[in-house]
Amino acid sequence: MNRFLFFLFVSLIHAFALQAQDQNKPFIKLTDPLKEVNQVPSPRRFIVGSTCKTCTLSINGQDIKVYPTGAFAYACKIDSGKNEFLLQAKSTTGKAYTKKIIYQYTPPSPEKSVTTVSIESIQTYPSGNLVLRPGDKIGFRVKALPRSNVTVLDGWPLYELPDSLTGGIQGIYQGEYIIQQGDGFSSRKISAELISPDSQRIRKELQATITVMTDSMPNVAISKGRLAHLLYGLGDDRLGGAKIGYIDSLVRLSVIGKVNDLWKVQLAPTRTAYIPEEHVSLMPKGILAPKSLTGKIRAYTDSAYDYVELQLFNRLPYQSLPQNNPSAIVVDVFGATGNTNWVDQLSALKSISQIDYEQIADDIFRLKIYLSDPQHWGYSIYYKDQNLVIRVKPQPKLLDLSNLLIAIDAGHGGRNTGAVGPTGAIEKDITLALSLKLRQALVREGTRVMMTRDKEMFYDNKERILLYRDSTPDLLLSVHLNSSADPLTVGGTSTFYRYPGFRPLSRHIHSRLLELGLRDYGNNGSFNFMLNSPTEYPNALLELLFLSNPEEEMLILDPAFQDRLVEKIVLGLKDFLQEAARK
């Protein structure tokens, strides 16, 4: 061995030794909490993080399980006051590293009655800035000095509830006011007035306002943009309010009020909905309310789709639902009254077997489009001039992966990092790696594949929906990882769908994923995720594992296990196609 090779050999051995020594160096890296001193609102807390893969870990002297990845999670017992936790990681050579975490917990004080001449709080139902019309109700709840006279809106009395209904708290006043025809509030601040038992008078105002609609105000709006959508109500969560569905642009809507940035619209005498302010434009006063008789209904086909066209004289709002057993598309058109005497149906239709219609209620006209095949393959609804068109996609002639265009949506990306695991693993990186492996596996099957992103980048969910609407893939799979505040007991694999007609896709994939011995977190329906909302193609959200769980993080970081996940997803797709072919 010449001198150069000898020194190279010695250098490599030294480098490997340093690397092994460094891997055995104790450390503690926390993902929860991120600070040493933490004020916490509840006694249920966890300490989550990682240490070196060969280290042992103790918290306040108690040995804690360290996973092969170095991850750990610990459920804390938090008492009132200051809680200290001493973490110590030890290497196999006896070196130690310590870290201290402090949780400061102050239990919430029990609610007490007001003891001074004051109004502590005012709540309205609904809350916020309100635009109302005569006949609308607004509820009030005021907390103030007990045994007083409390009024709102210049003299409307509220009534003090017995403390048997308030958990022993006195001074809770409630009542409901019905907006009267003569009310003329113009951006009036919401306020309450109190007269105490000794005749002291005080008043409290909120920043929120009430405005009463008058005959001179616009009462018709039209939808705008490609993502205009109707909401069932005012509820909200991290996925947004529950959506009725998307509607086309230039659809007329009868405006009857507003809560903050949501316009309230009257769909039919017994149906109301809300639409975000950004998706409508108010029309000048004098525009007629959205109403129409129905005209001719005809069904026709071209080389790619079947169509059902309903003649109307205004663009009216609508909602739709793909149903199973039998497979059908139900479309309710609001503001429409039946004046149709027959339906033209051509024998050349590929995907439609029958069309029925019914006036199910005043101003709700229902079309029911029965499909030739049990499986739904997607449809879109839009207006052609004033006529409503339902474009129905037929089942592919060859139900094989080699004949399909499948879209793969790698969840998150860029500044939208997603969940973080105990070791610091980031959801956006893992979903991209899994999606690229899934693309590779599908390409081997002869599938044409399109992806939201094939590299690290930010891509807004609204842009994703429009991309796939324009591309009309045969199927869409959105790849994600789940997360929970509880890293120890919550875990499992799950799939999500929104519409019953698309349930078989997620059901088959979920069944295959369970073959890996994973916990069952369900095949969950009616899920209000943006990428589950399109009706143009079957779609499924795959929440493969809980990245927050140390054991499941360990699995998902294993390239071999990733390959097995991808294999099961592909088998689930094949099962879905085989079932569709058998029916």
Domain that holds residue 39: 27-105
User: What pLDDT score does 238 carry?
Assistant: 80
Instruction: Name the more confident of 561 and 340.
Output: 561
| Same domain? 564 vs 528 | yes
| Same domain? 565 vs 463 | yes
Residue after which a domain boundary falls, among 239, 258, 282:
282
User: What pLDDT score does 22 carry?
Assistant: 53
Q: What CATH code is carried by the domain that includes residue 439?
A: 3.40.630.40
The kind and range of the H/E element at 382 are: strand 379-384
Read off the pLDDT of residues 265-276 as tens digits, 9 standing for 90 and up.
Answer: 999 999 999 999
Q: Is 357 inside any structural domain?
A: yes
The pLDDT-based confidence of 153 (bands split at 50, 70, 90) is confident
* pLDDT > 60? residue 86: yes
Query: What are the helix and strand counts (H, E) for the chain?
Result: 6, 41
Q: Is 276 inside any structural domain?
A: yes
Percent of the chain with pLDDT over 70: 96
Quote the CA–CA distance of 165 and 394 in Å, as a whole number.
58
* pLDDT > 70? residue 6: no
Quote the CA–CA distance of 487 and 76 in Å, as a whole number.
12
User: What pLDDT score does 473 carry?
Assistant: 97
| Same domain? 322 vs 415 | no
| Same domain? 140 vs 199 | yes
| Same domain? 147 vs 40 | no
Q: How many domains does the chain have?
A: 5
Residue after which a domain boundary falls, among 105, 134, 161:
105
| Same domain? 100 vs 129 | no
| Same domain? 431 vs 575 | yes
Nearest Cα to Cα of residue 521 among 544, 503, 500, 504:
544
Q: Is 287 inside any structural domain?
A: no
Instruction: Name the more confident of 6 and 172.
Output: 172
* pLDDT > 70? residue 10: no
The pLDDT-based confidence of 54 (bands split at 50, 70, 90) is very high
| Same domain? 514 vs 412 | yes
Read off the pLDDT of residues 96-116 as tens digits, 9 standing for 90 and up.
Answer: 999 999 999 999 999 999 999
Burial 122-136 (b: 16+ CB within 10 A, else e): bebebbbbbbbbeeb
| Same domain? 356 vs 460 | no
* pLDDT > 50? residue 9: no
What does the pLDDT average to over 319-341? 96
Q: What CATH code is carried by the domain that includes residue 192?
A: 2.60.40
Q: What is the pTM assigned to this prediction?
A: 0.92
| Same domain? 567 vs 429 | yes
Residue after which a domain boundary falls, among 155, 186, 212:
212
Read off the pLDDT of residues 113-148 as tens digits, 9 standing for 90 and up.
Answer: 999 999 999 999 999 999 999 999 999 999 999 999
Strand 448-451 to strand 405-410: parallel, antiparallel, or no bridges (unpaired)?
A: parallel
Q: Is 484 inside any structural domain?
A: yes
User: In 424-544, which residue ranges form alpha helices assigned H by DSSP?
Assistant: 427-444, 461-471, 503-514
491: DSSP letter: -
* pLDDT > 80? residue 15: no
CB 256 within 8 A of CB 268: no
User: What pLDDT score does 185 carry?
Assistant: 66
Q: What is the mean pLDDT of the chain?
A: 93
Read off the pLDDT of residues 539-566 as tens digits, 9 standing for 90 and up.
Answer: 999 999 999 999 999 999 999 999 999 9
Read off the pLDDT of residues 179-205 as tens digits, 9 standing for 90 and up.
Answer: 988 776 677 899 999 999 999 999 999
Percent of the chain with pLDDT over 90: 89
| Same domain? 367 vs 484 | no
Read off the pLDDT of residues 436-468 as tens digits, 9 standing for 90 and up.
Answer: 999 999 999 999 999 999 999 999 999 999 999
| Same domain? 407 vs 348 | no
* pLDDT > 50? residue 11: no
Q: What CATH code is carried by the domain that includes residue 346?
A: 2.60.40.3500
User: What pLDDT score does 451 carry?
Assistant: 97
Nearest Cα to Cα of residue 331 among 314, 308, 300, 348:
308
Three-state DSSP class for 313? coil
